Structure 1
Amino acid sequence: MIPRATYRLQFHKGFTFADAEAIVPYLDQLGISHIYASPITTAAPGSTHGYDVIDPTRINPELGGEEAFRSLVKALRSRDMGMIIDIVPNHMGVAGATNPWWNDVLRHGRNSDYAAVFDIDWSRQIVLPVLGSSLTQAIADGAIGLHREKERWWITAYNETRFPIRDDDQDAPDQLPLETLLARQHYRLAYWRTANDELNWRRFFAINELAGVRIEDPEVFERTHALYLRLYAEGLIDGVRVDHVDGLTDPLGYCRTLRERLDGSPRPADAPSGPAWIVIEKILGPDETLSQEWQVDGTSGYDFMEEVTAVLHDSTGAESLSALWHEISGRSPDLQSEELLARQQLLAWQFTGQLEGCVDAFAAIAPEGMTRSMLRRAVERLLWVFPVYRTYGPNAPASDEPVREVVRARVQPHVPPGEAAVVDQILEWLAGGGPGQAAQKAEAVRRFQQLSAPIAAKALEDTAFYRYGRLLSRNDVGFDAGVMALSPAAFHQRMQARAKHWPQAMLTTATHDHKRGEDTRARLAVLSETPARWREAVAEWERIAAPYSNGVDRGDRYMLFQSLLGAWPAASEEDFADRIAAWQSKALREAKLRSSWEAPDEVYERRCNDLARALIDNGRFVGAMNAFLAEIGHAANRNSLIQVALRCTLPGVPDLYQGNELADLSLVDPDNRRPVDYAARSAALSAPPPKLRLLYDLLQARRSHTALFASGSYEPAIIEGDGSDRLLAFERRHGERILRCAVTLHGAAQPGTAVLFPSGVRYSAESLLEQSPVWYEIT
């Protein structure tokens, strides 16, 4: 069953299945067909997001357990609605002693029934980077001890974290010297700062609390997916969203298996018929496309969010904004330079262990004359310039070939003299060729692919995007921030491809992972239309901020100005300063320039927070901010409505992130995961503000004309006269039913401009868009 429209809910112990059941009538009234749930399996106690799964075989009791889940689904089914769930095949939470599978591995080592679940190098003890000092120092400080509970002995660290003692040491562990007992275990407690260099198991990105899962093993797939398959077979869910598919060894094979197992499950007669709806969290690089061989319905929408955001920006502002950023920050006006530096640093700082494992795998198959050092330099340099998250092997699909050619060209300036052949050899292995046994080559390729993906994510989205402040509305997950805007012509080409290849993919403009809310981005996008006026405003704000800056870097201050502008509330909010301070501290640490998660500079962070609070409390700044918002407010609201219209009318399944029926001026998590006032939203339907009114009307249109929106063609309209770059218009047709839609970009429609729709209908642009930036009709 393909959803008509989904509504993303973030479940945790503060918002349970019972809470969701209470809002089902409201979601139905709004026009939603499916709840799209964050992970529902048992996660670490108190988890606010659910991605740290500790037991994939049980529905999380903190959310209400299976009984409450069934009650929620029953309420949905009573209104012909359904459920989509987010699943996490790539990793599991391993913090503390809460994961029974991980505990069993620590207890029994490679003889554990769960040893094959986790991606562990068994040549040495499992490294557990949990100590605040070296092991020797921790023992000397009395931080390591023993604890007996339920007739078993445990090792404890800091009187809080427990680690199981192997069975053959249970008799009298307290009779052994502590150093001897620790040395005998299947794991080794280590200083947390050594993780990046010494970790011998794959983790999710650089998070020590999330261990990689070997989902490519058929037995592991069955163990971790039994619950999902049962829920689908019982008609309780209609599909899944797959988290971080690029972390898997074989994404294509996994997706095909998932499709086969879900669609092969018999469903109850009263459940909606299949096929299952499967979308994947896949970040597409510039010009990268998803292969239909994966047998999924599309991505979870980051690529769409990029396309819609980009078309709202004005390319003419790029040069001025780049120059302003360079003048203020002294940093490169070019994103590519920031990304290269971040990749180099992250590879050296956070992924040394994985890098060495990857190099070892290539060294095992390297021809004579290629030293390990040569291979290491080649692998490093390829990872510096990789244009996408990863390639897909070891069978090297044809879609990977253009990627390898781009890499070959980009890497040349970085290759040491005389070592081009080493780079070529690695590229040959990535293409499925080269010397070595098939199994060894596959292992080397796997290690490279599972390293290139986290390097891309951490270096670009979680580092460079916090350093590069040209225009923050272009810095979000899956965005090509080096490109300011997308032309209407290019946008049409992408939507035609979407209609042809991915008409059932998810369309979203806000997620639990976004760095700025959809209306925050819509507001900041206006700066690309008015760079000269923005420069004047920044100069004024800098003068106001000068007495409070106290050594705050001008680049950090400039990004603060943008964040204040983007998130500035319509009415005073008591917690606004706290929200900005939380964003600011996270941004500084992610940037890794003046502070970091590993070594926070709390003095500098406090200076930045003090500046933000001083500005929010400064009457002159508040007046200047409100005056500037008054200038750009109409354009910001225009962009907001355009996003709603495009998400609800273009080919695909629109997703509404929780609470975003009303203005979404959020920042990065946890700000975008704050509690939602559903009573206020339900009440607002009686007299809806413009965003909610448009959303409601379009969702009702989708309900009334399901086939048109689900299967209709996409054909661009012709814009006649001046201002063709300021209008976006298209037509969708299914049978005799036609949807026509037009929106105005970067200002009002130009006099004399006309819109000629493919069906032959011709309208004056002014007549269509005089009252609103969005127009549509269904005939």
Structure 2
Amino acid sequence: MTEETYRPAVVPVSTYRFQVQPAFTFDDAAAQAEHLHRLGVSHAYLSPVLAPAKGSTHGYDVVDHSRLNEEAGGRAGFDRLVAALRAVGLAAVADVVPNHMAVPTPAHENAQLWSVLKEGPRSPYARWFDVDWSVQDRAILMAVLGQRIGQVLAAGELSLDTRSTPQGEEHVLRYYDHVFPVRPGTEDLPLAELVDRQWYRLAHWRVADEELNYRRFFDVDTLAAIRVEDREVFDASHALLLELVGRGDLQGLRIDHPDGLADPRGYLRWLAEATSNATGDGSAWVVVEKILEGEEQLPADWACAGTTGYDALQRVGGLFLDPAGAEPLTEQYTALTGETGTFQAVVDNAKREVVEHGLYAEVHRLVDLLSGICHDDVDLRDHTRRGLHECVVELLVAFHQYRAYVVPGEQAPPEAVAVVEGAAEHARAHLPEERHDTLQVVVDLALNRAGNPSDARIAEFVVRFQQTCGPVMAKGIEDTSFYRWFRLSSLNEVGGDPTRFGTSPEEFHSFCSALARDWPAAMTTLSTHDTKRSEDVRARLSVLSELTEEWGAALTRWRELATEHRASELDARTELLVWQTLFGTWGDEGPIGAERLLGYLQKATREAKDHTTWTSPDEAYEAAVERFATGVLGDEAVLAAVREFVEATAAQARVAVLGQKFVQLAMPGVPDVYQGTELVDLSLVDPDNRRPVDYADRSRRLAALDDGAAPADLHDEKLLVVSRALRVRREHPELFVGQEAGYSPVPTTTGNALAFGRGSVGAPGAIAVTTRLPVSLERHGGWGEHTLSLPEGGWRDAFTGTVLSGGAVRVADVLAQLPVALLVRES
């Protein structure tokens, strides 16, 4: 990131995420402006605001870039929200979806897509969509039919009809709720011939994975990729957003899935330039939803403030995991499930399934390109299509991050070369020796260093290969492997690595120092709309890493008590997931409700795809899972045993809940608070995390704390920590987001306390202190005479009001009331 390419006009001090949808409109968000102000945030962070498909509860299925979400209140509602925020000194940032649009039902909701379906490659919007018009019938595959086209025609399920438009009546084809345009001049043909003459091909839904000819979002047929690498498409799809940025209605943008774009670097440069032109005073603050794997770094030449924070999420959560728990939990998992394979083996199998089945059409298109390139180059002609296919499959399976960053016509950067060649080394071990030369050809073409430089197909392959790596990673790991391996489910998180068990203080300090140096205005997060579990579910589960023997004993007891609910079809791995989920989500009112648990388990088991799937549900298996879950929830003896364990671990869970939230709020970056998580939130994966938030309760609790009431429970304690930390950030932004917002480790005499300073490295203005691994702390006799070294001067704890002096201070005095402390230098 360089100042020449990116200089944000405004950097938020903190954000609060709202999931705008029909059930929570712009006006509903506006009603919480005062709460956000009292909480201490600087910006409301809105999910996508452009018009989505009707009824959308998430907004990532945009149908019209020229309108705001009408079901959320439209432009008038959005303007009222902006006014309400401004009235209390706040502003807004919003999610942007540049990679794809919805293929809605009916299709005419997307005017650009409707035009292409009607007029084909002659449509003025044909350049919007990434369609392969070279297929045999030059038609976009619309795989929406419940049976094969011949059967649909024979059953009379397709009919010619008309619909009214502002320009008059137009002919359409109807298939139940689906409506498609009729190519002009074909309306009088016999129905079967008419169907065959359209610019789209109606097909059975199962045909999509094998013959789809438009690029999509991952494997979702109803989200068609758009080509924002075309400047005309970029300008048209961003015009309204740029208008809102220019008016100051939006001061920042979160970019969804940049790895799906043909040229993420080029897109971000265009966006920085366009937002700078719109404001006349620097670019908008931009963060990107980029998942960094392992030690991967965000490309330094991206014109943005950094990532949306999954890298921070992993490091923060790891602080509250005991690495010593990894081996005992592994042994328990193996003993219970009988599975002895490594997580990497699970990943390799899942990715291979995705490549060979769910993403077959994408792989087929890559092989088509390679086959054509090799056929037309005499030096490469003897590399067969079959060999190319095998090599592409193995290379995609071996790829260990979402993509490399190679730009056609440019020399591949060293980082990209290392990634691709590293994947090739792994792939080579799974290929016979006679394929090794072919693999090298694929690698050289992917790195833009082979073939005829003027061959446009090579440039296309370079881009498409990178665009395919991401879906393989996401579908193979996040959406399959994470549902197949549950040593400790809190580690199965977006951007996470279940084999990476814990973060040492030294590793955390190193990470934060680099973040403060390289990406000081990146977003940090603990919960998002995409996380598999909320921050507080993960925090509670992290306690198990310190209590492996107690957890093993509890599992044995619970399983014995639940014997009568266990059908023969139920696998031990899914049962273990039930127990971890029941423990992790146990709330003040007791266990999670049956509807929520069954919805989650259906999603988890179908995503795993080894006993049941979304497309081919196994009724007997799913009935066994439901019987077990409902049986457990209705069994008082089982619930009493679980309740006993929850209560026995409550003190340790409190440390993790408060500690990880506080660390996120105090560390380098711009912290986001996901809707409702200012209190303890025990949510699971979407859509569970989009349930209504009780803001009245949160407002009453905050008012009581502000009036001097002591926290009544863990909810109040978390609210106290969140609100006071956010207010300190707002009152002293220079300590957290300014040029002098440095990061410096503060020495302690115990690894059970983590401390760091914010502000000038030589003279910090705030010190964050948190407890970690409370079980080992207790086993070692508590804080005793352990100390931390405060810089000279007076310090006041923003949470308790306790005043301390600089020098060696007993940790027990700093953390006498709460397991966390935010010490602010007294002026």
TM range (shorter): over 0.9
Residue number in structure 2 paired with 1:731:
757
Cα offset for 1:741?
1.6
| TM-superposed deviation, 1:104 | 0.7
Partner residue, 1:270: none
Counterparts in 2 of 1:8-23, with a 5 A limit?
8-23=17-32
Work out the CA distance in 2 between the residues paired with 1:169 and 1:411. Answer: 50
Summarize deviations over 1:35-64 as a string: whole Å, max 9, x none.
100011111001000000000111111111
Select the residue among 114, 121, 132 that pairs with 2:125: 114
Q: Which residue of 1 aligns with 2:70?
A: 61
In the other structure, the counterpart of 1:24 is: 33
AA aligned to 1:768 is V
Deviates more, 1:64-73 or 1:415-424: 415-424
Secondary structure in 2 matching 1:237: coil
Task: Work out the CA distance in 2 between the residues paired with 1:446 and 1:230.
Answer: 30
Q: Residue 12 of structure 1 contacts residue 49 of structure 1 at CA under 8 Å; is this kept in 2?
A: yes
Which residue in 1 is equivalent to 2:272? 259
Map of 1:83 onto structure 2: 92
Aligned residue for 1:440? 457
1:681-710 residue CA offsets vs partner (Å, 9 max, x unmatched): 111113351000111111111121111111
What is the match of residue 152 of structure 1? 170
Kept in 2: contact 1:616–1:622 (CA 8 A): yes
Deviations 1:150-169 (A, max 9, x none): 322111113x2111001122
- Structure 1 residue 751: deviation in Å? 2.8
- Could you tell me which amino acid in structure 2 is paired with residue 756 of structure 1? S
Q: Which residue of 2 aligns with 1:216?
A: 229
Inter-partner Cα distance in structure 2 for 1:321 and 1:83:
43
Aligned to 1:343: 351
1:334 and 1:482 in contact (8 A); partners too:
no
Q: What is the rounded CA distance, in whole Å, between the counterparts of 1:534 and 1:357 in structure 2?
A: 49
Q: CA shift at 1:370, angstroms?
A: 1.2
CA distance in 2, matches of 1:717, 1:405: 41
Task: Name the structure 1 match of 2:255.
Answer: 242
CA contact (8 A) 1:716 1:758 kept: no
Which deviations, in whole Å up to 9, do the C-alpha atoms of 1:539-586 show, x marking residues without a partner? Answer: 11111121111121111101110011111121147x711100000000
For the residue of structure 2 that corresponds to 1:455, the secondary structure is helix
For residues 546 and 658 of structure 1, the distance between their equivalents in structure 2, rounded to whole angstroms, comes to 39
3-state SS in 1 of match to 2:286: strand
Judge which range, 764-773 or 671-680, deviates more. Answer: 764-773
1:105 aligned partner, one-letter code: V
- Residue 320 in structure 1 maps to residue 328 in structure 2: yes
Matched residue SS, 1:264: helix
Q: Is contact 1:647–1:654 with CA below 8 Å preserved after alignment?
A: yes
Equivalence for 2:155: 141
2:348 and 2:338 map into 1 onto residues whose CA distance is 17
Amino acid at match of 1:771: Q
Partner of 1:774: 820
Superposed, which structure 2 residues align to 1:282-361 within 5 Å?
282-361=290-369
* 3-state secondary structure, aligned to 2:502: coil
Q: Choose the corresponding residue for 1:411, options 407, 423, 427.
A: 427
Match of 1:386 among 395, 399, 408: 399
* Alignment partner, residue 743 of structure 2: 714
Q: What SS does the aligned partner of 1:491 have? A: helix
1:547 aligns with 2:555: no
- 1:31 and 1:703 in contact (8 A); partners too: yes
State the distance in 1 between where 2:609 and 2:584 align.
23
Q: Which digits, 9 at most, give the CA deviation of each residue in 1:119-161, with x for residues without a partner? A: 0001221110000110001111121111122322111113x21
Contact 1:473–1:525 (CA<8 Å) still a contact in 2? yes
| Number of the residue aligned with 1:431 | 447
Instruction: Describe the SS at the equivalent of 1:189.
Output: strand
1:560 lines up with 2:544 in the alignment: no
Partner Cα separation in structure 2 for residue 322 and residue 264 of structure 1: 55
Residues 415-424 or 706-715, more deviating? 415-424
TM-superposition CA deviations, 1:377-435 (whole Å, max 9, x none): 11111111111000111332333233234313322321222222222222222322112
Q: Are the structure 2 counterparts of residues 408 and 148 from structure 1 closer, same or farther at C-alpha, using a change threshold of 3 Å? A: closer
2:229 is paired with a residue of what secondary structure? coil
Report Cα offsets for 1:152-200 as digits up to 9, x if no partner. Answer: 2111113x21110011224x3xxx3211111110011000011100100
Q: Which amino acid aligns with 2:162?
A: R
* Secondary structure of 1:687 counterpart: helix
Once the 2 structures are TM-superposed, how far is the Cα of residue 758 of structure 1 from its aligned partner?
A: 6.8
SS in 1 for 2:201: strand
SS at 2:429's partner residue? helix
Q: 1:205 aligned to 210, 218, 224, which one?
A: 218
Q: Is 1:571 equivalent to 2:582 in the alignment?
A: no
Contact persistence 1:731–1:757 (CA under 8 A)? no
Q: Greater shift after overlay, 440-449 or 455-464?
A: 440-449
Task: Tell me if the contact between 1:325 and 1:333 (Cα under 8 Å) persists in the aligned partners.
Answer: no
Deviations 1:87-127 (A, max 9, x none): 10000001222211111110000011111101000122111
**1:364 equivalent among 358, 363, 372:** 372
User: For 1:149 and 1:5, how far apart are their aligned partners in 2?
Assistant: 48
**C-alpha contact 2:219 2:358 (8 A) present in aligned 1:** yes
AA paired with 1:746? L
Distance 2:450 2:509 in 1: 41
Q: 1:568 aligns to what SS in structure 2? A: coil
CA distance in 1, matches of 2:786, 2:282: 46
Q: Bigger shift: 213-222 or 606-615? A: 606-615
Check the 8 A contact 2:248/2:279 in 1, yes or no. Answer: no
Are residues 1:104 and 2:115 paired? yes
Q: CA deviation at 1:666?
A: 0.4
Quick one: distance in 2 between partners of 1:614 and 1:772?
Answer: 39
Indicate the percent of aligned positions where both proteins have the same amino acid.
39
- 2:81 maps to which residue? 72
In structure 2, the residue matched to 1:127 is 141
1:705 is matched with 732
SS of equivalent to 1:163: strand
Once the two structures are overlaid, the 10-residue window that deviates more, 6-15 or 428-437, is 428-437
In structure 2, how many angstroms separate the alpha carbons of the residues matched to 1:631 and 1:715? Answer: 36
The aligned amino acid for 1:403 is: V
> In structure 2, what is the equivalent of residue 455 of structure 1?
472
Match of 1:530 in 2: 547
Partner SS, residue 292 of structure 1? coil
Contact between 1:581 and 1:609, CA under 8 Å: does it hold in 2? yes
Within 5 Å, give how 1:590-605 maps onto structure 2.
Answer: 590-605=607-622
- Aligned 8 A contact 2:734 2:759 in 1: no
Deviations 1:64-96 (A, max 9, x none): 111221121122122221110101000000122
Deviation, 1:757, is 4.9
Shift of the 462–332 alpha-carbon distance from structure 1 to 2, 3 Å rule, reads farther
1:715 and 1:533 map into 2 onto residues whose CA distance is 37
Residue 754, structure 1, aligned to residue 780, structure 2? no
Kept in 2, the 8 Å contact 1:323–1:333? The answer is: no
- Unmatched segments (≥5 aa) in structure 1: 268-272
| 1:409 partner letter | E
Q: Residue 32 of structure 1 aligns to a residue in which SS? A: coil
Residue pair 1:473, 1:516 contacting (<8 A) in 2 also: yes
Which residue identity lines up with residue 593 of structure 2 in the other structure? F
What is the one-letter code of the residue matched to 1:339?
A: V
Rounded to whole Å, the distance in 2 between the matches of 1:83 and 1:309 is 28
1:187-198 equivalent positions in 2, closer than 5 A = 187-198=200-211
Separation in structure 1 between the aligned mates of residue 672 and residue 239 of structure 2, nearest angstrom: 27
How far apart, CA to CA, are the structure 2 residues paired with 1:321 and 1:221?
49
Q: Specify whether residues 369 and 737 from structure 1 end up closer, same or farther in structure 2 by C-alpha distance, changes over 3 A only.
A: same
**TM-score scaled by length of structure 2:** 0.91
**Distance across 1 between alignment mates of 2:771 and 2:35:** 31
Match of 1:376 among 389, 404, 408: 389
Mean Cα deviation higher: 456-465 or 543-552: 543-552
Residue 626 in 1 paired to residue 652 in 2? no
Aligned-partner SS, 1:715 = strand
